[in-house]
Each structure stands twice: as structure tokens, then as C-alpha cells.
Amino acid sequence: MTATTDPGTGATDLRGVPGATAEQTTITADDVLAAARQAAGRSVEHLLGRQDGEGWWKGDLATNVTMDAEDLLLRQFLGIQDPATVQAAARFIRGEQMGDGTWNTFYEGPPDLSATIEAYVALRLAGDRPDDPHMRRAAGWVREQGGIAASRVFTRIWLALFGWWKWDDLPELPPELMFLPSWVPLNIYDFGCWARQTIVPLTVVSAKRPVRPAPFALDELHTDATRPNPPRPMAPAASWDGLFQRLDKALHAYHRIAPGRLRRAAMNEAARWIIERQENDGCWGGIQPPAVYSVIALHLLGYDLGHPVMRAGLASLDRFAVWREDGSRMIEACQSPVWDTCLATIALADAGVAPDHPALVRAADWMLGEEIVRPGDWAVRRPRLAPGGWAFEFHNDNYPDIDDTAEVVLALRRVRHPDQARVDAAIERGVRWNLGMQSRNGAWGAFDADNTSPFPNRLPFCDFGEVIDPPSADVTAHVVEMLAVEGRAGDPATRRGIDWLLAEQEESGAWFGRWGVNYIYGTGSVVPALVAAGLPAGHPAVRRAVTWLESVQNDDGGWGEDLRSYVEEKWIGHGASTASQTAWALLALLAAGERGSRSVRRGVTWLTETQQPDGSWDEPYFTGTGFPWDFSINYHLYRQVFPLTALGRFVHGEPSALRTAAAAGKEA
């Protein structure tokens, strides 16, 4: 049974709703508003208390134990093991193991073969014995799933570094890729920036094929220890998979006859490319995996561990570590201070914090200092576009992203800064850069324009996650919303973005979420953008979205969507209620004019009743997306900033900037 609302009194009747208490049987509109005010006030205090003295916010970014396992494997490969670090990492990995001996890649998700293999090997490096009960359970499950031979390519690359897998049985990545011009298919700029930064160093690793002495055997992870590397069947020659499998076979043959001078020149070009893209803090792209592979590649090319590039690179890896109170050590795949700071600024402003509040001014100052004003890899496709944008991380000048830039502009517009001219100039550069990064179809990707080649995903090497960066509904929505706030709702570029969004709406009324889980995130991003750009709340696309959101609201009043919605239709819009996903649904419904609806009141009530005494929310579920299904993220600040934004808009109405933009759009 669901709740009902009395149209005369505005009371929400929760009798018969699962989980409703006697005291909750009738909640008036005034009760909901009062509870929302109190919850927002507590949340404001909590969030203000988490701001760094320099002005930024950053929550932990949790992924899965492959980050921790690969960190230990790197240290083993380089011979720089530190017993304290190894044991702290092992403590974290053991703590993430499930009862059946496996590891998954997101909270309450299914077991993952590659994560289980890498975690198992890391624990062996830490001294755990194969006959320990938790290790026996893990190894037995791995064998049941096909053993090491069934794992992903990246896992088998790590094992090949120690002779636990044969290099000949891995896809080939020749460094000569570096010489392909940007108009030739499968050049490095056909890959998304995260894949590009990983593939370039791996071309060196693939060419060198190093093997360090293995400290132990892994026979217990093979289904047949006498034949651990069974050949994989070839797809039909007429299929795309068959074509690329045969291309890979030809590249293996080329590996044996590659001209020495050409190969050395290619590897030197790769080294130059890697070093040019090292950030000031020593990392690469602010992301842990490219940093790990870049350090290995340069080491194989003769850079000793004392070389300045290597010292800085190794030091940067330590900054991805989060040490916990229990003495364990977790590795973040990347860090999100710019993203967290702009979202926190928006949340506080929409909750009624004064625009000239010192915390908001400090945040604006910090964001202004993070603006990127030099070209990066994006300029390969847009060589005449002037720089101006923001990245996700502390240090990532090569890869500003369109999503962060749009949200930073929206955040800066909410702050009354003493140097408004400086703010306006930065916003103007950001808007111009975002407009210049629009793809041909009218939409926006995250890092590059028109990064839509169909070929990279076909490579046998690319069996894990997205390797291209096509436009997505959530990024496009954020840009459209930003352009509307900047008075550009009627611009041809904005209208093309709106047309693309309308065409991308699912038959259900939802939108797919590329960078958040999933259709709730996509819909929660698109509806506010369309309304801000002038579409009326009664527009058919908005009404279909509202109907869908109401249809997937949980009995407890919240919203949730499991990561399995990326691969299983039955999970679309369904999952345990979470603070961030409930907030996303509310943001869409509030933008659509549903503030007084039963669904909104129930959602707001769920947020107020699940808030913790310190003003925060707990959220073990992963609601962030790195690669749909393949790589999931738990942004620890999502559970704080999005509920506050939703409560703020429920209490105070839509932000004045959005109301102004929507009015301007209607006039246009």
C-alpha cells in the first residue's frame, strides 16, 4: 500500500505503508516543511564543518580492492615493499572479503572473478597461506569460474609481470601506435583520456614483456595446472570480433620481427608523451591506474627509482592512500576535490547560506585558482579553441572536463565575490570552452569532443570498461543548465543540446545515466536542465519523466537503483533507497513543479527521517559510475551534498538563477 494525500489539508496519510510508525500515520505539509528546515540546518552545519581551510571539500572515493592489490603488485615489481604498508593493505583487503571467499566490486554486488584473483594474490604477497580457510574458499571459487584464464586482460597483465601468465597469450599493444596520426583509426586520441593515459605506457610494457621472479606459484588458481593457458576460440572471420582477433594475431607476429630502430623510436616517443603529461604533483591525470603503469613503463626504459620523474611519480601514489582508524589502508582510484567543492557550494547556497558567506567565498577563491588556462589533449580535436575549464582532481591540467566546468560555473554564479570581475572573466572562459567542446550531434562528452570511434571497444585488449568518451545525457544536461543560467537558453548550441536530450529520452520517460547510477541520475540531471532552459513543466517529456519517477519510488518513500541496472533491465529504477538517489529524484520532481505532491513529501520525509544526529547521511551503496557496470564508485560526499540541495530547494524553492533562466527561456 502507498501513502495518500488529502487535497484539502495537505496531510500525507502513511497508514498501511511498510515501515510507517504510529506517529507517522498522518504528516501534514507543515510538518514536512518544518522537518525539512531542521534537517537542512543540521546538514549545513555538518557540511561547513568539513570544509578544508583552503576552501575545498573532498570526500573519500571508494572503488574496489583491485586498486589495493595492484598497488602491492607494483611495489613487489619495483622491489620497494614496506612491511607496514603491505600489512595495512592486506588488512583492508581481508576486510572486504565476502563470506563465500570472494570479492565484489560494489556493495552487495555479485562476486567478481578478476577482483577475487587480484585480492588473493595480494594476500599471498602479504604472507597469507593457500591453506588458510579464507584463501581456500577464494581459490576454490576461482577454479569454479574458469581460473585465471577466464579473468580480464588487465589481471593477466599483472600476472604476466611475474611469470604467472604468458605474454604470448595476451593481446598485443605495439608502441608504434604512437606514430599513427590523429585521423587514422585506432590512433591514441581515438581512446577516451583515461584509456589513452593507460594504453600509452602499456605499449612499452607490451613491447618489453618483463618477467620478475615470482615469489610463489599460483597453481591453485588454474583449473588445469598442467595447461594453465588454454587457447581462446576464434570468432568467425567475417565478424568484427573475428577481424580484430586476427589483427591481434598479426601484431603478435610483428612483435617477433619489429625493426629494432623503429621500436626504440616508438618507445622513446611513448616516454616523451608520458613525461610531458606528468602533473606538477607527480601523478598522471590525477588517476591512480595511469600513474602505476607510467611508473612501470619508465622504469623498463631505464629510469631508475631515484630519477626526479620517478621520485615524483612514486610520491604521488602515496597520496591516493587513505589510512583508516583500524590501521588499514585503502587506495583511491582518483580524488574529486573540484567536483566535491562545486557541488558543496551549490548545496549550501540552495539551502539558504548567504552568497557572501566566508565559506562560499573561500570555496570560490579555491575554484578560481584551479582554473586550467593551457591546452591539453582536448586540443587535438579542437586546435583553435582557447583554454578555460576545470578538472575533477587537485592536479590534472591536461584533462579539464566538461562536466566539472559546467558545475563550477553554476557554483560560482551562486557566490557574491569581492572581485566579481575576476569571477566573470573565469566564467566567460569556461562557457566559451564548453561551447567549443560540443560534439557534432549537439551533445557533450566528458573530456573530448566527438570521441566516438567504433573501433577501440573492439580490440581484444579492451575487455574492461569504456574506452571511448561519447556524449551522455547527464553531462549534456549539466551544460544546458549552465548555458541557461548564463542567459544562453536561446543560443543555437543550447537548442541543439536540448533537441539531443529530448531525442535520447527512453520510452519509459527516463534518461540513461553515464556517470551516476543510473536512470535516476540521468533523469535527475536532465529534467532540471530542460526546465531551466525554458521547457514548461507541462511539456510531454517532463511529464513522462515525472510519471516514471513516481512509478519507481520505493515503499519507504525513497528512491534507489542498483548498479545491475546497467546490465539487467529488471533493476532499472529499483534498489534499496539511498540518500543521493532520493535527492536526484526529488531535484527532478521539484524542477517539474511537483513540490506539493505526495511523492515529493514522502521523499523529503525519507531524507529527514534517515538523517543522522550529526546532520549527515549514511550510504554504503555505490551510486557513482566510472565505467557502467565495470567500475563503480562510492563518492562519500554524494550522500551529503545532494540531499542538502534537494532539501534546500524544497524549503526555498528553485534557486533564483534557475528561475531567472527559466523565465528568460520562456520569453525566447
Which residue numbers are catalytic? Answer: 403
β-bridge mates for residue 632, sequence order: 625
Given the C-alpha cell 498522518, which residue does it identify?
26
Burial per residue of 319-351, b for 16 or more beta-carbon CB atoms within 10 angstroms, e otherwise: bbbbeeeeebbbbbbbbbbbbbbbbbbbbbbbb
Q: Which of 495, 509, 503, 586 is nearest to 542 (CA)?
A: 509
Backbone angles phi and psi of 278, in degrees to 5: -70, 135
For residue 359, what are the contacts with CB-CB under 8 A and spacing of at least 6?
48, 51, 55, 348, 353
N- to C-terminal Cα separation, the chain: 44
Number of C-beta neighbours around residue 503 at 10 A: 11
CA–CA dist 136, 124 (Å, integer): 12
How far is CA 467 from its chain centroid? 13
| Euclidean distance between CA atoms 93 and 359, whole angstroms | 37
φ, ψ (nearest 5 deg) of residue 608: -70, -35
Note whether 560 and 581 are within 8 A (CB).
yes
Residues paired with 278 in a beta bridge: 284
**Side-chain half-sphere CA neighbours of 192 within 13 A:** 19
Sequence-distant (6+) residues with CB within 8 A of 377 are: 189, 193, 196, 277, 398, 399, 448
Determine how β-strand 624-627 pairs with β-strand 26-27: unpaired
CA 645, distance to chain mean position in Å, is 20
Sheet holding 26-27, edge to edge: 4-5, 12-13, 26-27
C-alpha cell, 28? 501534514
> Residue 333 in contact with residue 286, Cβ under 8 Å?
no
Q: Count Cβ atoms within 10 A of the Cβ of residue 274 and give its class: 0-12 exposed, 13-18 middle, 19 or more buried.
A: buried
How many other CB atoms are found less than 10 A from the CB of residue 417?
Answer: 17
Q: How many angstroms separate the CA atoms of 491 and 484, rounded?
A: 9
Whether 501 and 526 have beta carbons less than 8 Å apart is answered as yes
The DSSP element (H or E) to which 263 belongs, if any, is helix 260-276
What region does 527 belong to: left with phi over 0, alpha with psi -120 to 50, or beta?
Answer: alpha
Among residues 98, 91, 163, 80, which one has the least CA distance to residue 127? 91
* Cα–Cα distance measured from residue 111 to residue 140, given in angstroms and rounded to the nearest whole number: 13
Measure the CA–CA gap between 450 and 459, rounded to whole angstroms: 19
In a 10 Å sphere around its CB, with 0-12 CB exposed, 13-18 middle and 19+ buried, how is residue 375 labelled? middle
In Å, what is the CA distance from 165 to each residue of 217, 223, 330, 463, 658?
11, 14, 27, 17, 56
Integer Cα distance of 451 and 446 in angstroms: 10
Q: How far is CA 140 from the centre of its chain?
A: 32
Cell numbers for 257: 620481427
CA–CA distance from 7 to each of 11, 13, 28, 29, 553 (Å)?
A: 8, 11, 11, 11, 20
